């Protein structure tokens, strides 16, 4: 039998412990399910997952494509960085040239995302400022737009938590 100090990291899921008077069984347990079974027989419910939505979280610096399932679990398909440099404040004509190049790079970033996604129907998490320009450049099939403060894994968690409420 293993002692509890051998579990040195937090698992991705919970841990279920089953004791049947002679043997201890340790198994991973999905934390989103709140079911308790009392007895000597181990009953595991069959979980049927379906796709609830496909979501693209977009910002100037990065984008994340994820699928959210009916049980509110999710899968990250990819995370991409844009490589767009920040704004310039000083420099006269050079600043104007850099600003123009930055705006062109943003358009190319949105177009590249549109090419990666194709004609998939998805929910878009994007800042209101860039929403119209993204639709114009990417030509994506957007079902809905949601506000998202983050465009990485944190943004996916934020969206899943908003769906729970």
Domain positions in the chain are 51-164
Q: Over range 61-66, report the average pLDDT.
A: 95
Q: What average pLDDT does range 106-132 have in this prediction?
A: 93
pTM: 0.69
Statement: 51-164 belongs to CATH 3.30.420.60: yes
Q: Could you say which DSSP state residue 119 is in?
A: T
**Burial 35-52, CB ≥16 within 10 A → b, else e:** eeeeeeeeeeeeeeeeeb
Q: What percent of the chain has pLDDT over 70?
A: 76
d(C-alpha 34, C-alpha 54), whole Å:
25
Percent above pLDDT 90 for the chain: 41
**CA-to-CA distance for 60 and 3, rounded, in angstroms?**
48
* Mean predicted lDDT score pLDDT of the chain: 81
141 and 124 Cβ atoms separated by less than 8 Å: no
- Using the predicted structure, report yes or no on whether residue 83 has a pLDDT greater than 80: yes
Q: With bands split at pLDDT 50, 70 and 90, how would you rate the model's confidence at 49?
A: confident
Residue 1 has pLDDT above 50, yes or no: no
């Amino acid at each position: 039998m293993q002692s509890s100090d051998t579990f040195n990291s937090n698992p991705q899921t919970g841990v279920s412990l089953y004791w049947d008077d002679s043997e201890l069984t340790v198994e991973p347990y999905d934390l989103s399910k709140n079911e308790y079974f009392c007895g000597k027989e181990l009953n595991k419910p069959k979980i049927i997952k379906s796709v609830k939505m496909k979501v693209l979280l977009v910002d100037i610096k990065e984008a994340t494509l994820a699928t959210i399932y009916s049980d509110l679990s999710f899968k990250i398909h990819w995370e991409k960085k844009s490589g767009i440099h920040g704004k310039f404040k000083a420099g006269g004509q050079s600043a104007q040239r850099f600003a123009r190049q930055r705006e062109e790079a943003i358009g190319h970033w949105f177009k590249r995302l549109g090419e990666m996604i194709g004609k998939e129907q998805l929910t878009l998490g994007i800042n209101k400022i860039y929403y119209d320009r993204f639709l114009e450049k990417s030509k994506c099939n957007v079902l809905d737009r949601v506000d998202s403060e983050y465009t990485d894994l944190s943004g996916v968690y934020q969206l899943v938590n908003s769906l729970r409420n």
